[in-house]
Amino acid sequence: MKQVRNTQAKTEILNIINSSDSALSHTAIQEKVGDLCNRVTTYRVLDRLEEEGKIHKIVNVDGVVNYAKCHHCTENDHSHNHIHFNCEKCMSVTCIENVVPEITLPKHFIAKSYNFVVSGICQKCYQN
């Protein structure tokens, strides 16, 4: 079993992601951690947190990787079969976990996981 190190940077980055209502880019996370760690360390911590089943990656419509908290994942069971909504106005990425799209695959194809990114206008921007 792999030893899990718990550093101040790891704790702070996880707190930042867990307290956010939307997924955050590496740049946004790095701005929030400030001088606590450099960008390479931030990438390493994000990779470690994903391996541990605490966060997941979402690639938005512009190809930017964002990170969001996991709700029901573990190191051995890491699945995010829900919609990710990318707002075209504010560029926020939000997990919409209570909406699971129905997909039909051709015969002899078996879906194990999928990643849906829907783009449009989020509720906050729609109201403004």
**Residue-range domains of the chain with CATH:** 8-127 (1.10.10.10)
Q: In sequence order, what are the beta bridge partners of 86?
A: 93, 119
Residue 64's contacts (CB-CB under 8 Å, 6 or more residues apart) are 25
pLDDT of residue 74: 64
User: Of 109 and 128, which is predicted with more confidence?
Assistant: 109
pLDDT of residue 2: 45
> Which of 34, 84, 35, 36 has the alpha carbon at shortest distance from 64?
84
Mean pLDDT over residues 51-74, rounded? 84
pLDDT of residue 82: 76
Any idea how long the chain is?
128
Does the predicted model carry a pTM greater than 0.95?
no
Mean pLDDT across the chain: 85
**Distance between CA atoms of residues 81 and 103, nearest Å:** 11
pLDDT tens digit sequence for 4-29 = 456 899 999 999 999 998 999 999 99
pLDDT of residue 1: 39
Question: Quick one: how far is CA 108 from the chain centroid?
Answer: 30
